[in-house]
Structure 1
Amino acid sequence: MTDRVLYRSRLRISVVFAAHGAAVGAFATRIPWLQQHLGLSDSTLGVALLAPALGSFVAVPFTSRLVHRFGNLRSLTCLLPLWCASLILPALAPDLPALCLALGMFGATSGMMDVLMNVQGVQIEQRLHRPIVASLHGMWAVGGLVSSGCGALAAGADMDARLHFAVTAAVLAGIGLLAARHLPKADPTEARQPPPRFAFPPLATLPIGILGFCAVFAEGASGNWSAVYLTSTANASEGIAALSYTGLSFTLALARLSSGFVVTRLGPVRTVRLSGGFAALGGMLVVLARTPPVAIAGFALIGTGVAVVLPLSLSAAGRHGGDPSRHIAGVATFTYTSSLLAPSVTGAVADAASLPVAFALVTAFAACPLFLASMLARPVQSPRERERAATGGPLLLTQGDSAV
């Protein structure tokens, strides 16, 4: 495959990542609309926001079986329109049970898409022989940034979320399918035997999974509760409150798009430690904020801090050897578990105490990469790689092995 084809493939998968981020951004900016439309309390909303992560948690372990049977690219192109269509369902829900079911469908399709597009990205990264996964996640954040900006305008204009979601889903499905149709097929995996129907995370992914868990907890809580935080704590209008997610998405995009330069200079471990400092500072600003500008700045710093942790973790998992879809799904299971807990725990603490107290807990998770970054320096070995090491053969290292 020529370099020109590979660079075009990188552009196409970047568009798919951006479309995925745009769907999440559109949903996040209209959470206050859903809360007001159904008359939900903070704690009830927190329960409802369990559903997307629960759907992802249940669906993601089946992804490797799907890839083995149909191939990664075919699975991606078939699932993409279904995932876009599922964005409309939450706005159509008439009550809390229907909302939870709709959010579960959205989370299940979104989570499986997440694994499929990361597998595709890792394959292209390996063929290019240069790190691109973090920049792909940067494009995800760019999509979220653009979509959240549109969501802020829609909220400010009092547009019905049902119309907003329908237009967004149609546009993203068209753009995503146009980009995905010419992506290269993924390389065949080493495993000849089909994976189990429900693949539990490999134990080798535990260290990087823990690191990803903490970062995603902070990102998930911030993404789901930032707009609500500004309306209830900083007395912001719905339109201004939507800008909190815009600030989060902007710094996520900027940090991920520039991560190649930073990681090359500092290495993954130092980069993640520095990121943890930014995230902790942002969390403290949010806790202390009583005006919209300070709160928005705090969420922007949280975005800067958590931006590169998950991409570096997924890149390491994808280079594990064997079936990359299973190892990426393994890390994704940890991160979706975190996504499952973050909104509901934040809502429960907010209902029992206050949103600032809840975000004090979020700040603690945001600061964890300061202390857990060294996990990226540990080699993630498959059984085959351990056998090579035992017999004196070459050992395949992950991106984090040369971090310090």
Structure 2
Amino acid sequence: MREPDHRAVAVVFAVVGATFGGLSARIPWIQHNLELSTGELGLALLFSPVGAFVAMPTAGRIAHRLGGRRTTRLLLVLSCAAPLPVVLAPSLPWLAAVFFLEGVITGMCDIGMNAQGVVVERRLRRPIMSGLHGMWSVGCLAGAGIGALAAQAGVTAPAHLGLVAAAYMPVGVALTRALPATWGSRGEAAPPRFAVPPRKVLLVGLVGFCAVFAEGAGNHWAAVYVTDVTAAGPGVAAAAYAVFAMAMALARLAGDGVVRRFGPVASVRAGAVLAAVGLVTVAVARTPVPAIGGFALLGTGIAVIVPLVVTAAGNAASTTGQGVAGAAGMTYLSYLLAPAVTGWLADLTSLPVAFGLIACVTAALVPFARLLRAAAGHGGPADGAHDSPGSSGMAKVA
């Protein structure tokens, strides 16, 4: 049974995911409203992860001043409101500017809620991070579904997002009262204004970089791949992404039990193998069904890796926020690079070849998984294989 702080941080993840999903569902409305080309829209969208990447290191200092609970509450409220300026932007330059601001807010909120998750997981001494990320995925799917219904009913994006923000904010604020007051329980000192993350965090972030690169293949290219390579129609192409997203959400919700039983290292290795098999299946598929099955395997395999990276990084640094921010910065860098690099590889060769190469990157996670063991500096075994099968204990890196 979840304790109050566990429930509270789970709701924060779900609300942030629902906000993101709602905005994502209204991107076509923004494009039509501003009469943007695909290239112009892509340029504007790029400013959101850039804003997040730039702002992430500042979240730790804000939390040190205000406390983790107040910081997370403030960032949650701002995150709920952030989509409104985006859909009210009157032109492309304004759209790019407000996407940058939205990225700043959501990037810092991402650090805040993940740091809270690390603190609660550390106190409970059992894995919860995969389930928290699963709640984000569930929220994202629900928010996107509400957005799709609103669009179908002819509700404008400002009206839709204004109403859901008004609904999400009080729920989030009320439940954040149960969050820990600080991000750490070890008397953490103020993080520096800017510092290169410790070597352990950089190594753990490398695992996240590879995982997010593979995840980006599903997020950004599933529908395109099924359309261009297997000649599927728009409905089947949309289903390819939906299956990928649903597989990832379900695997994350079930992932904590897997990590508890087998440990972080074995879980990452098994997930990497499953994801690589999925990518190879996609690369050789020339009809929709096996391609969609491959994306389902990819989503299932990659699901628990980023949550484990966040936990490991938060425990590897001297301050929780610094560790989470360091790893998150590397994953956001991968998020920035993955779509463009995949497209570049596809232009040079083909989409199947590009997916085959990404499968090689994903397979590299098998030896890299041991880096999560190196981050286990807080007591307990680094891999569940050293526990009894029914043990409720866990390595603090996961």
Task: Give me the TM-score of the superposition, normalised by structure 1.
Answer: 0.82
Find the partner of 2:312 among 309, 316, 334.
316
Residue 128 in structure 1 maps to residue 124 in structure 2: yes
Q: Which residue of 1 aligns with 2:71?
A: 75
Structure 1, unpaired ranges of 5+: 382-395
Equivalent residues in 2 for 1:351-370, closer than 5 Å:
355-356=351-352, 358-370=354-366
Q: Which residue of 2 aligns with 1:384?
A: none
Residue 143 in structure 1 maps to residue 125 in structure 2: no
Residue 252 in structure 1 maps to residue 234 in structure 2: no
Structure 1 position 174, deviation (Å): 3.4
AA matched with 2:370: S
Q: Which residue of 1 aligns with 2:12?
A: 16
Q: Which residue of 1 aligns with 2:37?
A: 40
CA distance in 2: counterparts of 1:312 and 1:8, whole angstroms: 22
CA distance in 2: counterparts of 1:167 and 1:55, whole angstroms: 25
Over 6 Å off, 4+ runs: none
AA matched with 2:278: G
8 Å Cα contact 2:189-2:319 kept in structure 1: no
CA distance in 2: counterparts of 1:354 and 1:40, whole angstroms: 24
AA matched with 1:169: A
Equivalent residues in 2 for 1:98-117, closer than 5 Å:
98-117=94-113
Residue 205 in structure 1 maps to residue 187 in structure 2: no
Find the partner of 1:236 among 233, 237, 242.
233
Structure 2, unpaired ranges of 5+: 387-398
Change beyond 3 A, Cα 1:187–1:347: closer
Change beyond 3 A, Cα 1:380–1:131: closer
Residue 179 in structure 1 maps to residue 175 in structure 2: yes
**80-89 vs 341-350, which moves further:** 341-350
8 Å Cα contact 2:262-2:383 kept in structure 1: no
CA distance in 1: counterparts of 2:165 and 2:354, whole angstroms: 32
Alpha-carbon deviations, 1:72-93, whole Å to 9, x = none? Answer: 1111111112112222344344
CA distance in 2: counterparts of 1:321 and 1:360, whole angstroms: 35
Q: Which residue of 2 aligns with 1:50?
A: 46
CA distance in 2: counterparts of 1:351 and 1:167, whole angstroms: 42
AA matched with 1:65: R
8 Å Cα contact 2:15-2:139 kept in structure 1: yes
CA distance in 2: counterparts of 1:166 and 1:241, whole angstroms: 30
Equivalent residues in 2 for 1:150-299, closer than 5 Å:
150-154=146-150, 160-186=156-182, 190=186, 193-230=189-226, 234-237=231-234, 241-288=237-284, 293-299=289-295
Change beyond 3 A, Cα 1:276–1:154: farther
Count matched residues. 384
CA distance in 2: counterparts of 1:159 and 1:227, whole angstroms: 26
AA matched with 2:131: S
Find the partner of 1:337 among 333, 338, 343.
333
8 Å Cα contact 1:148-1:242 kept in structure 2: no
Task: Give me the TM-score of the superposition, normalised by structure 2.
Answer: 0.83
8 Å Cα contact 1:125-1:133 kept in structure 2: yes
8 Å Cα contact 2:61-2:192 kept in structure 1: yes
CA distance in 1: counterparts of 2:289 and 2:27, whole angstroms: 20
Change beyond 3 A, Cα 1:195–1:98: same
CA distance in 1: counterparts of 2:71 and 2:270, whole angstroms: 37
Structure 1 position 169, deviation (Å): 3.3
CA-based RMSD of the aligned residues comes to 3.1
AA matched with 1:236: G
Q: Sequence identity of aligned pairs in percent?
A: 44
